[in-house]
Amino acid sequence: MKRVVYSGIEGRSLGYWGLMGALGFFILLAAGSFLYMEHSGHHVTGMNNQVVWGMPHVFAIFLIVAASGALNVASISSVFNQKIYKPLARMSAMLALTLLAGGLVVLLLDLGRADRMITAVTNYNFKSIFAWNIILYSGFFVIVLAYLWSMFDPKLHKHTRKAGTAAFIWRLVLTTGTGSIFGFLSARQGYDAAIMAPMFIIMSFAFGKAIFMILLIGTYRYTDRSISADLIERLNNLFGVFVAAVLYFTVVFHLTNLYAAEHGDFERFILMDGGVYTFLFWVVQVLLGGVVPLVLIYHPAFRYNIRSLIAASSLVIIGGIAHIYGIVVGGQAFPLVLFPGKEVSSSFNEGVVNSYSPSLPEILLGLGGVAVAVALFLFAIKMLRLVPENLDAEHTENVTEVPA
């Protein structure tokens, strides 16, 4: 029975400042890209009037989805009372905040009129799912901050479970909202599916967990702190369930679409002759982002090995970005069906697959969002007492003195 002691990381090593410097460099590149796109207009991007959301949205949505998933470890400890995860709850909640911040930065800086983004708050359309999301994001910040506070302040420990439950429910609603941004678009063949919302929730579990594990293991390795094999084993198994669930939802989504003849053309596009989208789907999303990680997680040759866990997490992140790229860009690349059963042609790309190739500034802006999220996290674990000093067996079994 040992007390869990939290401390900030030292953050004075060459490695820490080198990493922060590299992240800062990416943030500067992203800032430059934003100014360039804002000044010139979006003609310098690969986006156009058919593919209106491009690379920045892929990164933004990935980060926002991962943000709610990163909270998962905290939720499991507070809501489902899994004591072994309790020492990790603070890091988990903080990562959720920084990932959301990174995602929102990208989303807002890609607006056509980023200079008047404040209008999104002063003028509000209650019917818009997008506008609901503005409330969901702001609320997430408030609730998770309150949750973090309740974990920090001993006087508020008795409220931690309530705050954790509120945060858990809120994050489910938030990801439902993010998924519904696409699920409610009845006009497009690739969207318009209620399954989008639960699929986004499952995706968030997997992506958030992947990022959390890389940062957790990285932090412990570079600060010479220890993690118990038991904890790694549990994180590994839980991660496996999430990755398998994403594959399951992917299968159900496409099977449902295949069954309905009206979506047949869209499915043929994604699954067979969509070129880059087909490649991204089968090779990156399904194989690299799903099957290979499952082997790494469950095959006895790799199981419970920290390196294979890191490899699996990295692959899930890459596969996840491909997954979101397929949803966002693939869904727009497939032409709108205005006249079912007829062939169409016009001067405005009617009936042909819309082209999109991401430009460098778009990619840099997206990567900048990732850099913001990671840099904020690294800064937070230095400044605040978020990281348990020890996660070895005797500290994680029979833990006391940690908030319920």
Partner 1 sequence: MSQDHNKSRRHFLGQAAATTAVIAPGITLMTIAQANQDQPHGASSSKRWGMLVDTNKCTDGCTDCVSACQQENGWGDGSSDESLSNPQQKAQWIRTVTIRDKQTGHTNQLPMMCQHCESPACVDVCPTGASMKRVDGIVLVDKHICIGCRYCMMACPYKARSFVHESLHDQKSNSPRGKGTVEACTMCVHRVDHGDQPACVEKCSSGAMMFGDLNDPNSDISKKLAEVDSTQIRADLGLNPSIRYSGI
Partner 2 sequence: MLSQMLKQISRQRVTVVALVLGSLMGYASIAQSGDRDGVRSSISPNAGDSCVRETSWMRRNHMELLQHDRDRTLRQGIRSVDGSIKGCVECHVQQDDHGNTVAINAENQFCSSCHAFTSVSIDCFECHATTPDSVKRAAK
Q: Which residues bind partner 2 (CB under 8 A)?
A: 115, 118, 121-124, 126
When CB distances are held under 5 to 8 angstroms depending on the partner's kind, the choice from partner 1, partner 2, none that residue 344 binds is partner 1
When CB distances are held under 5 to 8 angstroms depending on the partner's kind, the choice from partner 1, partner 2, none that residue 224 binds is none
CB of 30 to partner 1, least distance (A): 19
For the record, the structure tokens of 139 come out as: 């609320």
Q: Which of 241, 344, 383, 393 binds partner 1 (CB under 8 A)?
A: 344
Residue 128 near partner 1 by CB under 8 A: yes
How many whole angstroms separate alpha carbon 218 and alpha carbon 92? 14
When CB distances are held under 5 to 8 angstroms depending on the partner's kind, the choice from partner 2, partner 1, none that residue 256 binds is none
CB of 116 to partner 2, least distance (A): 8
CB of 134 to partner 2, least distance (A): 11
How many whole angstroms separate alpha carbon 392 and alpha carbon 350? 61
Q: What is the dihedral of CA 79, 81, 87, 92, to 10 degrees?
A: -30
Q: Which of 22, 28, 35, 52 binds partner 1 (CB under 8 A)?
A: 52
- In angstroms, how far is the first alpha carbon of the chain from the final one? 16
How many whole angstroms separate alpha carbon 255 and alpha carbon 263? 10
When CB distances are held under 5 to 8 angstroms depending on the partner's kind, the choice from partner 1, partner 2, none that residue 43 binds is partner 1
How many whole angstroms separate alpha carbon 131 and alpha carbon 309? 38
3-state secondary structure of 6: strand
Q: Which residues contact 308 (CB under 8 A, 6 or more apart)?
A: 296, 297, 302
Per DSSP, what are the bridge partners of residue 160?
Answer: none
When CB distances are held under 5 to 8 angstroms depending on the partner's kind, the choice from partner 1, partner 2, none that residue 359 binds is none
Q: Which of 40, 81, 237, 357 binds partner 1 (CB under 8 A)?
A: 40
CB of 5 to partner 1, least distance (A): 45
**Helices in 71-88 by DSSP H: which ranges?**
72-78
For the record, the structure tokens of 71 come out as: 């909270």
Element containing residue 7 per DSSP (H, E): strand 6-7
Please state, as a whole number, how many other Cβ atoms lie within 10 Å of the Cβ of residue 21.
11
Answer yes or no: are the C-beta atoms of 323 and 285 closer than 8 Å.
yes
Residue 119 near partner 1 by CB under 8 A: yes
Q: Which of 14, 123, 261, 400 binds partner 1 (CB under 8 A)?
A: 123
Size of the site for partner 1 (CB under 8 A): 49
Task: Give the binding site for partner 1 (CB under 8 A).
Answer: 40-43, 47-50, 52-53, 111-114, 116-117, 119-120, 123-125, 127-131, 134, 181, 184-188, 332, 336, 338-339, 341-350, 354-355
